[in-house]
């Protein structure tokens, strides 16, 4: 396949040529009875060709100029222009566009089905590639974007408790990864990716409840670990401070009993009811 790159097309400012066109038309009107037939026909053809060569380029727009099937360049300067009247001038928008993908159902790295969607912000930067290297560059962006989103979801797990990168826990890293992959896929179409960001992420409905229960269980286990770590530290501190102050002497059995009681109090889900030992009452 022939690889094309954008280049500047030959053109002239439109208004000076328009003045020439007006002068020629006025001359034809005034001299139509005095000019020989052949010369008059040539002048009429010249006036028509001059008129056909005019075109307008709007801001953030380009015109690709094609001469008998050959790409000869593009015009990006906004304004009124004139070029070879025998050329075809195809319009290409250079404005920023958004592509919002549908919710795609894919498997993450651990095999769990998830729903994912993203928004892609893009624009055309090479009109030659956009028009001639792909069939339909807008459709090409859509297909390649959905393919890249699926590939991204397959590489990472939905969630991770450790330092592993996950779809849910690292949105900025995933956005950068998605943008890089999209840029490599869409470079052939002359497209620049300005931003790529995930807009929807969830477990598939058939496993959503099961995964929610698993996340709740993991959260409970993690919370329990923190509670136990804190309780052990508090018990150690209490024993050390009692020993340093010389408040009471504990043997190993009483120390174990105190540790057991403190751990129960500190790690219990419900409020504990203390039992106060006031000694033995004799009658």
112 and 69 together in one domain = no
Contacts of 96 by beta carbon, 8 Å cutoff, 6+ apart: 121, 122, 123, 194
In a domain, 150, yes or no: yes
In a domain, 236, yes or no: yes
In a domain, 274, yes or no: no
- pLDDT number for residue 56: 95
In a domain, 4, yes or no: no
107 and 173 together in one domain = yes
199 and 224 together in one domain = no
Structural domain including 110 reads 97-203
133 and 51 together in one domain = no
87 and 108 together in one domain = no
- The per-residue pLDDT string of the chain (283 residues; one tens digit each, 9 = 90 and over) reads 677 899 999 999 999 999 988 888 888 777 776 767 777 787 788 888 889 999 999 999 999 999 999 999 999 999 999 999 999 999 999 999 999 999 998 888 888 888 999 999 999 999 999 999 999 999 999 999 999 999 999 998 888 766 788 888 888 899 999 999 999 999 999 999 999 999 998 887 765 566 666 666 667 667 777 777 777 777 777 777 777 776 666 667 766 777 776 666 666 666 656 665 555 544 4
Nearest CA to 232 out of 188, 263, 189 is that of 263
- pLDDT number for residue 208: 54
Q: How far apart are CA 85 and CA 245, in angstroms?
A: 103
38 and 105 together in one domain = no
The residue count for the chain: 283
- pLDDT number for residue 35: 67
Q: Long-range contacts made by residues 168-172, C-beta under 8 angstroms, separation at least 24?
A: 168/201, 171/197, 171/198
Q: How far apart are CA 203 and CA 130, in angstroms?
A: 36
In a domain, 212, yes or no: yes
In a domain, 7, yes or no: no
Q: How far apart are CA 122 and CA 3, in angstroms?
A: 21
Q: How far apart are CA 214 and CA 27, in angstroms?
A: 87
242 and 181 together in one domain = no
144 and 101 together in one domain = yes
- pLDDT number for residue 282: 47
Structural domains counted in the chain: 3
142 and 223 together in one domain = no
SS3 196: strand
181 and 232 together in one domain = no
Beta-ladder partners of 192: 123
* pTM for the full predicted model: 0.69
In a domain, 159, yes or no: yes
């Amino acid at each position: 396949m022939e690889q094309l790159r954008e280049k500047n097309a030959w053109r002239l400012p439109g208004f000076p040529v328009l003045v020439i066109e007006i002068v020629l038309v006025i001359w034809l009107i005034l001299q139509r009875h005095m000019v020989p037939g052949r010369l008059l026909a040539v002048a009429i053809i010249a006036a028509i060709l001059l008129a056909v060569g005019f075109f307008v380029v709007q801001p953030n727009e380009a015109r690709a100029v094609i001469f008998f099937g050959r790409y000869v360049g593009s015009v990006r300067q906004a304004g009124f222009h004139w070029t070879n009247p025998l050329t075809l001038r195809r319009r290409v928008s250079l404005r920023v566009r958004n592509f919002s993908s549908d919710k795609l159902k894919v498997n993450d790295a651990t095999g769990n089905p998830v729903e994912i969607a993203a928004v892609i912000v893009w624009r055309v930067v090479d009109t030659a590639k956009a028009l001639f290297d792909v069939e339909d560059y807008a459709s090409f962006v859509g297909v390649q974007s959905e393919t890249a989103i699926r590939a991204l979801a397959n590489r990472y797990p939905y969630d991770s408790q450790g330092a592993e990168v996950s779809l849910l826990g690292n949105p900025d890293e995933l956005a950068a990864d998605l943008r890089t992959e999209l840029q490599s896929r869409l470079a052939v179409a002359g497209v620049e990716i300005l931003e790529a960001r995930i807009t929807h992420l969830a477990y598939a409905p058939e496993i959503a409840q099961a995964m929610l229960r698993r996340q709740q269980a993991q959260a409970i286990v993690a919370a329990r670990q923190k509670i136990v770590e804190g309780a052990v530290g508090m018990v150690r501190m209490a024993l050390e401070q009692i020993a340093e102050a010389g408040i009471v002497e504990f043997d190993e059995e009483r120390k174990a009993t105190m540790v057991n009681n403190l751990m129960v109090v500190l790690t219990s889900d419900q409020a504990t009811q203390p039992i106060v030992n006031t000694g033995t009452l004799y009658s």
